């Protein structure tokens, strides 16, 4: 079925991408997905699936037919640790469903609004040297191809390393099977530190903690270190008031006001950053794993994130203060740094190497391009790989050398979508037309 004309306009969560589709498709079954795709193939049209809009790139921009999978959000089966869900299921719903079955995802990013298909297709990741992107949890997928065929692709299939992180370029995911783990509790340890002390301790903390990340506050020498580890008991829960104060009031309500003020009076931003960094207090608490990994994000922003070889992190962090100090505007958001181990997913940012991820942000509506371009110019010669769902300015020509399996992926695309039914301008830019 299609939706009314007034539903054709779309804007992403960050507010920096929008499109006006000719038609909006809202299939309620896999057969309806197949029917829409067959019709598009026969008439020379394009179809682009859009999830929750949490990508900052134009990967989800659809100027012909936009397909929404919000009716395909059901549980299909639970078979021990293998859980199969429809691909439109959002992560928050998946986390609740898994908890009901005594299961959990082994790792998550810090936002749970994405659909499972969008999260795996763009390389969503968390942190921890024994973890990689969420795509590495995928055991099988059900994929509707441009020919209208429904392919069931498992780990022994030739195209499996391509389809589990496919950028939406290979077909429409309608079901995903995930390998989960028994439900677990995390002990979260969060504390402010001098940036130099954080950097000095990383070689010890990364291998000795399951999950490590930190935030650096621009215009200061201060950072916040976060370490999460499994524990047997949930015996240190945050009080309702303390959790609300830290995660909802301070991190969202107050931060929204601070960002609005900083946009009106840019000169105060360095002072505000210094106050914010020094106002942080240490806290430790226990909670269900997904509730530690994922936090509410109600202050909207735009973001660029680069994966770099872990050994290149000092060079990138050394360059960032000079970049920020030289900008014609102020940076209001902290810089986030996370770590993952190597994987074998063809278009995974962490393919084949120990990774550091560095993410830079700007408050929505604030200028960002000079900042992001300067940051990219530092990461690119280091072999950096941009996150597929976050802003970058790369093309197929300069991405090919940093992905050893780039041409293998394109060959799969050529074979199963030769007419480019699923393409858009972004995919033409990063994969080639």
Q: Compute the average pLDDT of residues 4-18.
A: 83
Residue 298 — pLDDT band, cuts 50, 70, 90?
confident
Q: Compute the average pLDDT of residues 119-147.
A: 97
Q: For residues 102 and 220, what is the distance between their CA atoms, to the nearest angstrom? A: 43
308-363 pLDDT, tens per residue?
999 999 999 999 999 999 999 999 999 999 999 999 999 999 999 999 999 999 99
User: Quick one: pLDDT at residue 245?
Assistant: 47
| Nearest-5° Cα angle at 293, 261 to 102 | 145
Q: Compute the average pLDDT of residues 4-23.
A: 86
The one-character DSSP state at 26 is -
Q: For residues 382 and 396, what is the distance between their CA atoms, to the nearest angstrom? A: 17
pLDDT > 80? residue 255: no
Q: In sequence order, what are the beta bridge partners of 215?
A: 224, 336
Residue 246 — pLDDT band, cuts 50, 70, 90?
low
Residue 397 — pLDDT band, cuts 50, 70, 90?
very high
Q: For residues 295 and 255, what is the distance between their CA atoms, to the nearest angstrom? A: 14
Q: Please give the mean pLDDT across all residues of the chain.
A: 93
Q: Compute the average pLDDT of residues 10-15.
A: 95
- Domain limits of the chain? 185-393
Q: Compute the average pLDDT of residues 296-309.
A: 93
User: Quick one: pLDDT at residue 248?
Assistant: 56
User: Quick one: pLDDT at residue 4?
Assistant: 47
211-240 pLDDT, tens per residue?
999 999 999 999 999 999 999 999 988 766
Least confident of 5-9, 274-278, 404-408, 429-433: 5-9
Cα four-point dihedral sign 101, 107, 113, 114: negative
Q: Say how many Å lie between the first and final Cα of the chain, rounded.
A: 29
pLDDT > 70? residue 367: yes
Compute CA distances 67 → 48, 86, 189, 273, 419, whole Å: 6, 15, 41, 41, 18
Compute CA distances 344 → 127, 130, 154, whole Å: 17, 13, 15
User: Quick one: pLDDT at residue 280?
Assistant: 77
pLDDT > 60? residue 204: yes
User: Quick one: pLDDT at residue 243?
Assistant: 56
Tally Cβ neighbours within 10 Å of residue 67: 23
Query: DSSP characters for 236-251?
Result: -PPPHHHHIIIIIIII
User: Quick one: pLDDT at residue 249?
Assistant: 44
pLDDT > 60? residue 3: no
261-273 pLDDT, tens per residue?
888 888 888 887 8
- For domain 185-393, the CATH superfamily is FAD-linked oxidases, C-terminal domain (3.40.462.10)
Compute CA distances 259 → 122, 164, 297, whole Å: 28, 37, 14
21-40 pLDDT, tens per residue?
999 999 999 999 999 999 99
**Higher confidence at residue 275 or residue 4?**
275
36-85 pLDDT, tens per residue?
999 999 999 999 999 999 999 999 999 999 999 999 999 999 999 999 99
Q: At what angle do helices 313-325 and 195-208 cross, to 10 degrees?
A: 150
User: Quick one: pLDDT at residue 270?
Assistant: 85
């Amino acid at each position: 079925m299609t939706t009314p004309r007034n539903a054709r306009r779309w804007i992403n969560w960050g507010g920096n991408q929008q499109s006006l589709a000719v038609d909006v498709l809202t299939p309620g079954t896999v057969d309806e997905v197949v029917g829409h795709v067959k019709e598009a193939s026969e008439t020379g049209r394009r179809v682009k699936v859009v999830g929750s809009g949490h990508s900052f790139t134009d990967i989800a921009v659809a100027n012909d037919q936009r397909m929404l999978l919000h009716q395909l959000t059901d549980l299909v089966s639970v078979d021990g640790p293998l859980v199969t869900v429809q691909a439109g299921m959002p992560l928050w719903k998946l986390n609740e469903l898994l908890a009901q079955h005594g299961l959990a995802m082994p790792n998550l990013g810090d936002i749970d609004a994405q659909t499972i298909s969008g999260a795996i297709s763009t390389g969503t990741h968390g942190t921890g040297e024994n973890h990689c992107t969420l795509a590495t949890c995928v055991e099988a997928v059900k994929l509707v191809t441009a020919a209208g065929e429904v392919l069931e692709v498992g780990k022994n299939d030739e195209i499996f390393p391509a389809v589990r992180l496919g950028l939406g370029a290979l077909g429409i995911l309608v079901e995903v099977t995930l390998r989960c783990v028994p439900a677990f509790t995390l002990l979260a340890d969060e504390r402010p530190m001098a940036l130099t002390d954080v950097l000095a301790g990383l070689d010890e903390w990364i291998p000795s903690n399951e999950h490590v990340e930190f935030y650096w506050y621009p215009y200061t020498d201060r950072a916040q270190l976060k370490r999460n580890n499994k524990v047997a008991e949930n015996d240190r829960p945050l009080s309702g008031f303390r959790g609300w104060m830290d995660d909802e009031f301070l991190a969202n309500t107050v931060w929204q006001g601070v960002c609005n003020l900083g946009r009106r009076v840019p000169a105060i931003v360095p002072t505000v950053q210094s106050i914010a960094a020094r106002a942080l207090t240490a806290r430790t608490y226990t909670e269900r794993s997904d509730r530690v990994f994922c936090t509410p994000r109600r202050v909207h922003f735009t973001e660029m994130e680069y994966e770099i070889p872990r050994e290149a992190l000092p060079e990138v962090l050394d360059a960032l203060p000079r970049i920020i100090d030289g900008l014609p505007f102020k940076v209001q958001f902290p810089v986030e740094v996370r770590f993952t181990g190597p994987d074998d997913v063809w278009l995974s940012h962490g393919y084949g190497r120990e990774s550091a991820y560095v993410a830079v942000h700007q408050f929505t509506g604030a200028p960002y391009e000079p900042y992001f371009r300067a940051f990219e110019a530092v990461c690119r010669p280091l072999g950096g790989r941009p996150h597929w769902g976050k802003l970058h300015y790369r093309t197929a020509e300069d991405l090919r050398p940093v992905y050893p399996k780039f041409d293998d992926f394109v060959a799969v695309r050529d074979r199963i979508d030769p007419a480019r039914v699923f393409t858009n301008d972004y995919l033409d830019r990063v994969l080639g037309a």
